[in-house]
Amino acid sequence: MRPHRLAFVLSLAAGPALAGSDVPRHQLTPSPEGNLVVGLCDGETSIEVKGVKPGDQLTREQGQQIAGALMQEWRQKHPDAEWIVAAADGAPEAPGAGASAESQFQTYGAFTGRDRRIWQESTERLVAEGKRIFHDDKALGGTNAVSCDMCHPDASNTHPETYPKFQVQLGRVALLRDMINWCIENPVRGKPFADDDPRLKALEAYILAQRKGIALDYGKH
């Protein structure tokens, strides 16, 4: 059974995947009165929050009311779909009777095979770029001709599935990108990448792709 995950979008939620391609995007209809409009990740379900303008600070109780209203509308549209909720220990609760995985997936939108191919190609292109940078000391901004693959051939012994975890090199709990930057700054002798640097995202994508299928086990050393 495919689990559902809830996300809000306040504006255009997807960037271009391929230049000139007709890619579905989540575009919310703005409020004629300029009120806040909040939408779900299905790109269809949204509500207008009367008397609240975009940027207004709301309380947690108000946020819960918005989320509750959105979920109620979504469930009314999809009475047979199942929403899998994580139990207290992080494991998904046992699913009951509900729609098939495919029909549940389709509740997020009528995605075509072409859409999925575009998204897959975009992801593979990002992974390929990460692989290129991983093997290129100049792309890493290094100053001593050392590249990531020299210590981690094919991203071996990187274990992205174990992050976040405490790293003695940093003296704190670190994310995968923190350790990538530590390596760039130390063995590679370059300058660490900003969090929004496309090179850092590509490196993360490549390392994760190399460990595809490995169970998440955060905090493990």
pLDDT band at 84 (very low <50, low <70, confident <90, very high): low
Mean pLDDT of 74-96: 67
Q: Is 185 exposed, middle or buried (0-12, 13-18, 19+ CB in 10 A)?
A: middle
- What does the pLDDT read at residue 43? 78
Number of H helices, E strands in the chain: 5, 5
Q: Tell me the pLDDT tens digit for each residue of 25-59.
A: 678 889 999 999 999 887 788 999 999 999 999 99
pLDDT band at 96 (very low <50, low <70, confident <90, very high): very low
Identify which has the larger pLDDT, 111 or 71.
Answer: 71
Percent share of the chain, pLDDT over 70: 76
In whole angstroms, what is the distance from residue 116 CA to residue 172 CA?
Answer: 39
Cβ atoms of 108 and 42 within 8 Å: the answer is yes
pLDDT band at 85 (very low <50, low <70, confident <90, very high): low
Mean pLDDT of 141-152: 96
Q: Which long-range contacts (CB under 8 A, 24 or more apart) does 179-182 make?
A: 180/204, 180/207
Amino acid at 73: E
- What does the pLDDT read at residue 9? 41
Q: What are phi and psi of 26, to 5 degrees?
A: -90, 105
pTM: 0.71
For the chain, which residues make up each domain, given as ranges? 8-96, 113-210
In whole angstroms, what is the distance from residue 96 CA to residue 107 CA?
Answer: 18
Identify which has the larger pLDDT, 178 or 21.
Answer: 178
- What does the pLDDT read at residue 28? 87
In whole angstroms, what is the distance from residue 125 CA to residue 85 CA?
Answer: 33
* pLDDT at residue 114 greater than cutoff 80: yes
Distance of CA 171 to the CA centre of its chain: 27
Tokens of 152: 């981690």
In whole angstroms, what is the distance from residue 112 CA to residue 8 CA?
Answer: 23
Which architecture, in CATH terms, is 113-210? Orthogonal Bundle (1.10)
Nearest to 218 by CA among 138, 160, 149: 160
β partners of residue 86: 92
